[in-house]
Amino acid sequence: MTVPTELDTRFRAATTGLVDVAYDFADSPLGPLFVAATERGLCRLSFDAEPEAEEERLARGFGARVLRSPRALDEVRRELDDYFEGRRQAFELPVDLRPVGDFQRAILGRLVQVPYGSVTTYGKLATESGRPRAARAVGMAMNRNPVPIVLPCHRVVGAGGDLVGYGGGLDRKVALLKLEGVQL
C-alpha cells in the first residue's frame, strides 16, 4: 500500500527545523542539480548525483537526519534560476562548509573574490593564500569543492589559459564561463 503523494509532501514540508540536512533537485541548463542545505546554509551542490551516495556523505558530515524536503531549498533554487538566466552575478546564499578542512576552506573562501565573468589561475590563488607552491593543492581543493557554481571554481584555469579540469566535466566549465561572457 503506497503512501498518497500529498501525504508524503505534507510530511516532508512539516520537517523544517527538525532535519540536519534537507535536499532536493534543481533544474538547470546543465542538467538536474542535487542541492542540499543545513540551517546554516548551502552545504552541497552536485552534478550527475547519486542520491544515495550523497545522502551517506551528508549524514557523515552533518548528522543522520538527511531528508528530501523541496520547500527547504526554495531560496537556493531561486538564486540558481536567476544566475542561469543572467539576472544574478553574485550569490547571497550562505554556505555551510563545516566538514571541510581549514586549508581547503581558506582556498574556497578566496574564490568568492574572483568576479563574475573573469578567471584566475591555480597559481595565483595559491600565492594569494600564502602558499605560492601549492598550486596542485589548490587544484585538489577545487576538485573537492562541495558547492560548485556558488563557490565559482569554474573561474580557475591553468597558467597557460587552458581549462585544465572540472569536477562536473569540462563541458560544464565551458558552459558556465560562456554564460558569464568569458572569451575562451
Partner 1 sequence: MRVPPFERFYQEQRDEIWAFLVRRLGRDRAEDAFQETFLRALRAYPQLEHGRHLRAWAYTIASNVSLDELRKKRPYTAPAEWLELDEDDGPAYEQLDHLTRDLPPTERAAVVLRYGYDLPYADIGAALGSTADAARQAASSGVRRLRRKELSQ
5 binds partner 1 (CB under 8 A): no
The residue (of 51 and 117) whose beta carbon lies closer to partner 1 is 51
Burial of 120 (0-12, 13-18, 19+ CB in 10 A): middle
Cβ(97)–Cβ(108) under 8 Å? yes
Select from 68, 110, 155, 173 the one that contacts partner 1 (CB under 8 A). 68
Q: What is the dihedral of CA 100, 102, 105, 106, to 10 degrees?
A: 180
Cβ(174)–Cβ(136) under 8 Å? no
Q: Which of residues 47-66 bind partner 1 (CB under 8 A)?
A: 51-52, 55-56, 58-59, 63-66
Phi, psi of 155 (to 5 degrees): -90, 10
In whole angstroms, the minimum distance from the beta carbon of 18 to partner 1 comes to 5
The residue (of 18 and 159) whose beta carbon lies closer to partner 1 is 18
Name residue 33's beta-bridge partners: 26, 47
In whole angstroms, the minimum distance from the beta carbon of 25 to partner 1 comes to 13
Select from 67, 164, 174, 179 the one that contacts partner 1 (CB under 8 A). 67
Q: Of the listed pieces 12-20, 78-86, 147-155, 162-170, which binds partner 1 according to CB under 8 A?
A: 12-20
Instruction: Give me the catalytic one of 125, 153, 156, 177.
Output: 153
Report the amino acid identity of residue 88: R
- Of 162, 107, 160, 100, nearest in space to 129 by CA: 107
153 counts as catalytic: yes
Q: Which of residues 16-45 bind partner 1 (CB under 8 A)?
A: 18-19
Question: Which one-letter DSSP state was computed for residue 4?
Answer: P
Catalytic residue positions? 153
Which positions lie near partner 1, rule CB under 8 A?
1-3, 7-8, 10-11, 14-15, 18-19, 51-52, 55-56, 58-59, 63-68
